[in-house]
Structure 1
Amino acid sequence: MRDERPPRARAGGRDELETPSPRDAGDEVAWNVARAEIIERIYDTAVDPLKYEAMVDVWVRTSKVGGVDAAGRVADAALDGRAGTLDRLLDEAGRWSPLVSTEAMVSEVRRNPAWVVARGGAIVAINEAALRLLNGARPRHIADLGYAPEDTGLLSSVVHEVLSARPGRNAVTMRIRRQGSERAEILRVSVARDDAGQRHALVVSSELTWPAGFDEELARVFELTEAEIRIVEALYLGQSAAEIAARRGTALATVRTQIRSVLQKVGAHSQADLVRAVVGLMDASMTAADEAPPARLLPGTLEGDAEGLEPIEFRRLDRPDGRGIDWYEFGDPTGRPVLYMHLDYGLVAWPSPAEAEARRRGLRVIVMVRPGYGRSDPVPRGVDHLEVCAGDYAALCGTLGLDRVAVLCLGADLRFAARLAALVPGLVSGIVGCAAQLPWSKPEHYARMDKWQRFVLANARYAPRALPFIVKAGMHLARRLGRDGFIRLVNAGSPADVALLEDPEVRRAIHRGSVVTLTDSFMADRGFTDEAISSERDWYDILSACPAPVHLLQGDTDPQAPLDVIREIAAGFPGVALEVVPDAGQFLFFKEWRLALDRVEPFLAPRRG
């Protein structure tokens, strides 16, 4: 392939736009405002993953003003030093579901006062802690709880918003004051359902006291000492450093030193950050079940079913660096080999009619579960992800004694196929890419994606430090919404993708295949993060050096790889053939697998017999 790249810094393979220039002094105020808003949305998402879209929308607004590169800088700065804290808060929030019966919710909240509120403000259930707080009185309405009149009105409004199912308002944390008192309480208002499925609001009060057992929680999550925990408690209760010093009879300098130590351990940049983190952790643990569900290892075999899906029996490939990689195959065991690459969604299974067609055509389909997915060990830190994955594919082909294979790949997996073809000359006879991603070179390319895809991939390039949290929070959201709900939300810009969920064969294949990415007890956030960062590094030269012919099938409604961007970039690769498939999106293969197999055929040896 000849070098027909647009004007760019060819020597280093990097675009001058890839690394944003420092912001102008005049942008300082806007930068700080955007940073503060994103930080707030990030903490909201860490406590409640259902608020993920609000975080995305804030980032999108920032990108519209300064570009995706500037928005990436804001996200990176917002996460700087906070990643560990946010990760721990997200893990805590992910342990429990907010949607359980009202009776169970009230009985499970033992340490804090809690009420269940129906539409109109009537209180329909109350726990023992609330009775103790109210000296045995049983309130019938929100107005009977003893809060200041203006705060009672605010609480009524929040309850109404939660019960009205406004987007992003499934759970709300608010401050409130009792009548005649200056002391504030924290209330957590979230959705609960009764046995009939009716929506109610569960209101849990922190009373801004130090919950019993919370010392152990802070020590476990942040590894604080007893003295540091007392500092955190005082700050949480609203005391200043001077007040803490006066009450403890210690020097102000000593207290300030302890505060700095706490900030460092928690990963907070200020006392406000610290209190926000503590409130978030308390918020996540206030409605905790007694025990988290036990962790379960992914099985080595996925069962088949009566409707045509074959069992998946994963085999193990041991690598010299000590890692293990899972793989399996289906189709004709003695047929012509096709290496299938599963996309960052981890879609390792095909629809049952496609599997049957592979057997009929005499295809031996080989699927490697890439590092970080399922039981496959992740790529070690600091090692080139693309090189390791290409090496794993080469090793698998060598182990199976394959000297010639065709590759069928999805999305940005094209880079693995291209690198494999160059790594083992003569091995790859041809590559068919479905809804392929090409090496982006400009911020404008990201700007043309749908917002969800733009948010993840632009941050993979411009804010890689922020990406682990972004990916993990997204997977918690997918777990809450379910696979179908998540796809409908994220791929809403592609009606073709959403419509595919109505096909039971496709739906079953997506659900079954993505078990290597997400289950109730496992998520491949490390693997997905590594893949996203790898895909957004410059791999122009890798595709240019690919010795095998490449045929791309691209849909006209792909939310991640817009057709105009693909056409623009593909023009620089004369060895890449582009075929447009109408009414297809990111999941093109699952709709057009017959076409994909037809395009693979020319790269295969003729069938025997």
Structure 2
Amino acid sequence: MFADNFTNTDVKNNILTYPLDHKQQTENRLIDSIYDAAIDPQKYDELLLLWEDEFFVTPTRETSQQVDGAIENHIRRAHKILSLTNPQQNEPPRIEQLVDADPLPTLILSRDQIVTLANQVAQNLFGVKIGKKLPHNAFSADDILKIKHYLTHLNKHKSDRVLAIIQPQNEEGQATYLFALSKIDDVNSRRSLLQISVVNTVWNETVGKTIQTTFALTDAEIDLAKRYVAGEKLADIAFAKGRSINTVKTQSKSLFRKTKLKSQSELIRLFSALQQFAQQENNGRNNALHLEEPVGLNSSYQHFIGRAYINRMNGRKLYYETYGDPDGEPVLYLHGVISGTKFTHEIMDLFRAQKIKLIAPHRAGFGKSDPHFEQREEGFVEDVRAVLVAEQVDKFKVVGQFAGAYYAFILGAALPERILKMRLINSHAPIESKNQLSKIMGRPLRTLVYTARYIPQLLPFLLSNMDVQVRKNGGRYSMNKYYRESAFDYELCQDAEIGEVVIDGFLSCYAQGNKFVTQQVKNLYQKDWSHLIADCPVPIELYHSTKDISVPLWVMQDLAKKHHQLKLTIVEGGQLILYKYPKTILADL
């Protein structure tokens, strides 16, 4: 009898206390993981797993869920620790990020001629290795002397100014790229370094008129100057103008005599200096257009037309890039949250072949564009209007990727009479059900979306941790982690050029801390924006993949059935189908 009573009591106690103990143990593991991830970003994956186990429930209705007050307090404390131990969130991007994201050959030298940084394009072009001395055969003997001279006298020069122009030759003795030498200051290492990068200049009519008036140049001579600034060689100019080389040589002598210059390099330096001065003079004038990084000259990057910025209200700068044919049909490109405004050579060639001028603005807070003081959808539309005015565009088409679709729908409702059509690639869609959310493939994105939707008060901690992940571990680490559950996308990312393009998106979205990502996540996931699709009367072509990691195909199929203006084309693959099938995705744009 005693034994029976003991056994029953023991079993009863275990039944009553085990669930409580197990719940407490789970919560303790989560709390430990929250602090671990705040101190060591490498433990973020473990946090996501425990986070999902703790918070992901199946609600009876689409409402916010309650979180244990003690756990929420721990998360707030951990977020404060994360902020204190990683105070660089609002600092500008590091030099490493800028070099890695540049589509043109760029390398950085220390005073002892050691290559401290070089993007993949520069490594391939010059045969240089990071941490090694600059090879003597990378440039001519005269150019090497120039490089050594400016390395020796770096302290005497101002930063971010063109010090000299050099033009290396290939094995056949032909001139290739034009390169600029400039001084940059690395605030992290507190060193002055020498940057060697492709000269970026396009003709600015205002500067051109100044040069023509100042030096009394004829129309033929100013046309010749324009071609020299564009990096054209003597033989190419003669062929384009239908003149003999001797005739062009005679005109060139007159041009250089009047300007008191000796070479094409000096002419480019003069033009660049006047262009920089013009930018400084215009600084502060709202909507004034500044050409910051125009065309990559004489290179395989010839279809990158340039980068410019516009001064907006309250001193904000709005940046954008242009690609393709300078005189082509205008197409506005809307990037996603982690998809940037850079493209592969193949895609840039397609823009040119289709006679398209692609205009790719950085949304406020993304990349180099300053954030809005008040994040408003109207502010995005106003920024687009400013870009269209600067580029003298009336009617245009739209291409959007991923979260860029959300802004495409906003634009379609605001400017329906000006948009001819839209093409949206693996478009995001409004979250209308818990089932839709559960089908998101990658745990990082699924956790982020769920938290934004149902427990938004915990979102800042996750986003801050992701920000630290990108800044501490780099874009490649973040890219591989993001796409590791999609074999299609992960394999594409291992291609050097595609990988650089994708990495640029990761670096650009966190370039100014996590404020941009926070706002994007709120727009996309904290509210139902189905009405934006209904309010957009523009014809829309959807290209959606069978295995997109963000939006299941069936969601887009349902949307296409609901809205008559949507036409769906299904493409086999994952999220990055644009880079796998660019000819298909961009056909007949």
Fold-level match, TM-score > 0.5?
Answer: yes
1:260 aligns with: none
Rounded to whole Å, the distance in 2 between the matches of 1:361 and 1:46 is 49
Partner AA of 2:478 in structure 1: F
Match of 1:500 in 2: 492
Cα distance change, pair 313–42 in 1 and its aligned pair in 2 (3 A): farther
What is the CA distance between 1:51 and its match in structure 2? 0.8
Match of 2:552 in 1: 562
1:299-355 Cα deviation digits (max 9, x unpaired): 964996965476674322233354321112111111101111111014110101111
Give how far 1:89 is off.
2.6
Q: Does 1:543 align with 2:533?
A: yes
Aligned to 2:273: none
Task: Note the 1:29-44 alignment, pairs <5 A.
Answer: 37-44=29-36
Counterpart check, 1:484 vs 2:476? yes
Q: Does the 8 Å contact 1:59/1:71 carry over to 2?
A: no
Are the aligned partners of 1:494 and 1:559 in contact in 2 as well (CA < 8 Å)? yes
- Out of 393, 402, 406, the position equivalent to 1:415 is 406
CA shift at 1:33, angstroms? Answer: 6.8
Does the aligned pair in 2 maintain the 1:309–1:352 contact within 8 Å?
no
> Which residue does the alignment assign to 2:364?
371
- Is the contact between residue 341 and residue 367 of structure 1 (CA under 8 Å) also seen in structure 2? yes
- The correspondence for 1:445, drawn from 436, 440, 444, is 436
**1:263-274, aligned counterparts within 5 Å?**
none
How far the C-alpha of 1:58 sits from its partner, in A, is 1.0
1:528 corresponds to which residue? Answer: 517
Q: 2:323 aligns with which of 324, 330, 340?
A: 330
Distance (whole Å) between structure 2 residues aligned to residue 49 and residue 302 of structure 1: 38
> 1:463 offset after TM fit, Å?
2.9
- Mapped pair 1:317 → 2:289: no
Pick one of 53, 56, 64 that aligns with 2:48: 56
One-letter identity of the residue aligned with 2:551 = A
Tell me if structure 2 keeps the 8 A contact 1:374–1:524: no
What's the CA shift for 1:34?
A: 6.1
Distance 2:469 2:396 in 1: 38
Measured in 2, the distance between the counterparts of 1:356 and 1:546 equals 31
For the residue of structure 1 that corresponds to 2:313, the secondary structure is coil
Q: Quote the Cα distance in structure 1 between the aligned partners of 2:339 and 2:310.
A: 18
C-alpha change, 1:497 and 1:322, in structure 2 (3 Å) is: same
Three-state SS of the structure 2 residue aligned to 1:466 is: helix
Q: Measure, in 1, the Cα distance between the counterparts of 2:25 and 2:380.
A: 41
Paired residues of 1:35 and 1:75 also in contact (CA < 8 A):
no
- C-alpha spacing 1:339/1:508, structure 2 compared with 1 (3 Å): same
Which whole-Å CA distance do the structure 1 matches of 2:548 and 2:302 have between them? 27
Distance in 2 (alpha carbons) for counterparts of 1:295 and 1:80: 42
The structure-2 alpha-carbon separation of the partners of 1:94 and 1:481, relative to structure 1 and needing over 3 Å to count, comes to farther
The answer to whether the 8 A contact 2:545-2:577 is kept is yes
* 2:583 matches 1:591: no
1:10-63 deviation per Cα after TM superposition (whole angstroms, max 9, x unaligned): xxxxxxxxxxxxxxxxx9999877665444322211101111111110122235
Q: Which has the higher contact order (CA 8 A, sep 6+)?
A: 1
Pairing of 1:144-159 with structure 2 (within 5 A) = none
Moved more, 459-468 or 398-407: 459-468
- Going from structure 1 to structure 2, the CA distance change for 1:380 and 1:494 (only over 3 Å counts) comes to same
Q: Distance in 2 between matches of 1:76 and 1:312?
A: 54
Partner of 1:45: 37
Q: Are the counterparts in 2 of residues 35 and 77 from structure 1 also a CA contact under 8 Å?
A: no
- Percent sequence identity over aligned pairs: 22
Letter in 2 for 1:579: T
1:51–1:74: structure 2 CA closer, same or farther, 3 Å change rule?
farther
- 1:403 maps to which residue? 394
CA distance in 1, matches of 2:344, 2:558: 32
Secondary structure in structure 2 of the residue aligned to 1:560: coil
Structure 2: gaps (5+ residues): 1-18, 89-186, 198-291
Of the structure 1 ranges 559-568 and 62-71, higher mean CA displacement relative to structure 2 is found in: 62-71
1:207-226 aligned at under 5 Å gives the runs none
Aligned mates of 1:578, 1:352 — CA distance in 2: 27
Relative to 1, partners in 2 of residues 1:365 and 1:72: Cα closer, same or farther, differing over 3 Å?
Answer: farther
Counterparts of 2:415 and 2:529 in 1: how far apart (Å)?
A: 18
Is the CA contact 1:342–1:410 (under 8 Å) kept in the aligned structure 2? yes
AA partner of residue 48 (structure 1): D
Output the amino acid matched with 2:577: L
Amino acid at match of 1:367: A
State the partner residue of 1:112: none
User: Which residue is equivalent to 1:350?
Assistant: 343
2:555 partner letter = V
Matched-pair contact (CA < 8 Å) for 1:45–1:473:
yes
Residues 335 and 363, structure 1, Cα contact 8 Å, conserved in 2: yes
Residue 538 of structure 2 aligns to which amino acid in structure 1?
A: A
Q: Give me the whole-angstrom Cα distance separating, in 1, the residues matched to 2:406 and 2:304.
A: 29
| Aligned pairs (5 A) from 1:228-377 | 301=293, 308=301, 313-377=306-370
2:586 counterpart letter in structure 1? L
How many Å separate the matches in 1 of 2:362 and 2:68? 31
Secondary structure of the 1:598 match is coil
Match of 1:493, SS? coil
CA contact (8 A) 1:34 1:74 kept: no
- Look up the equivalent residue of 1:504 and give its one-letter code: A
Please say if residues 373 and 527 of structure 1, whose CA atoms lie closer than 8 Å, have aligned partners that are also in contact: yes
Change (3 A) 1:302 1:324: same
- C-alpha distance in 2, partners of 1:377/1:41? 35
Sort the Cα spacing of 1:36 and 1:81 in 2 relative to 1 into closer, same or farther, 3 A: closer
Alpha-carbon distance change, 292 to 37 in structure 1, aligned in 2, over 3 angstroms: farther
Between the aligned partners of 1:318 and 1:456, the Cα distance in structure 2 is: 34
Q: Please, what TM-score do these two structures have when normalized by structure 2?
A: 0.57
Residue 578 of structure 1, CA deviation: 1.3
